[in-house]
Amino acid sequence: MKKKNNKKKMRNNFILFIAFVSIIAISYIFNFKLGIRIGDNFMIFARDMVKILPPAFILIGLFDVWIERETIEKNFGKSSGLKRYIYSILLAATTVGGTFVAFPVANSLYHKGAKYSSIFTYITAASLVMIPMSIMEASILGLKFTMIRIGVSLPLVILSSILLEKYFENQEYSLPKAVA
């Protein structure tokens, strides 16, 4: 039953993709400006993803293989104390590729023994403190604004991560071991 639903989903996704490509092609043929802009933007996005994702997934694979479970447990696990949040934020600051990269890394952290609060802090901080984004923001809006934004955001991120962890623990929730 599940296999049949997956095939149906794949067929529907393929049909949607063909419809999208057809609309873009028709837009170019009839010089429909909105469709042409959508096609151009899609190509820019696709090109950027082709540049970012392969190296990012190679690094994620290396992270998964090279970093020992004991290291993750020691620095992101139960006995790590406050340093788990610092390490989560530092790891998030160096993450390039946004959530495309953050979620696979978070999954690896989870399966190697990181606490939920470390993972939540990492995922949230990955969209807040990426070094390239922060540099660009500081150059446009000013260093003072960037420092205030980060200074206000990070304590709230840590607090919400702790609260979410407590909620998940009270619910006795755990992620599946493998996603099929």
Per residue in 53-94, pLDDT tens? Answer: 888 888 888 888 898 999 998 999 888 889 999 999 999 998
Report the alpha-carbon distance of residue 108 to residue 102 in Å, rounded. Answer: 10
Q: Is the pLDDT of residue 1 over 60?
A: no
Residues 115 and 75: beta-carbon distance below 8 Å? no
- Residue 138: C-alpha distances to residues 4, 131, 151, 154, 169 (Å): 51, 10, 14, 17, 38
Report the alpha-carbon distance of residue 132 to residue 152 in Å, rounded. Answer: 19
Gyration radius of the chain over CA positions: 21
The predicted model gives 131-149 an average pLDDT of: 92
**Share of residues in the chain with pLDDT > 70 (%):** 95
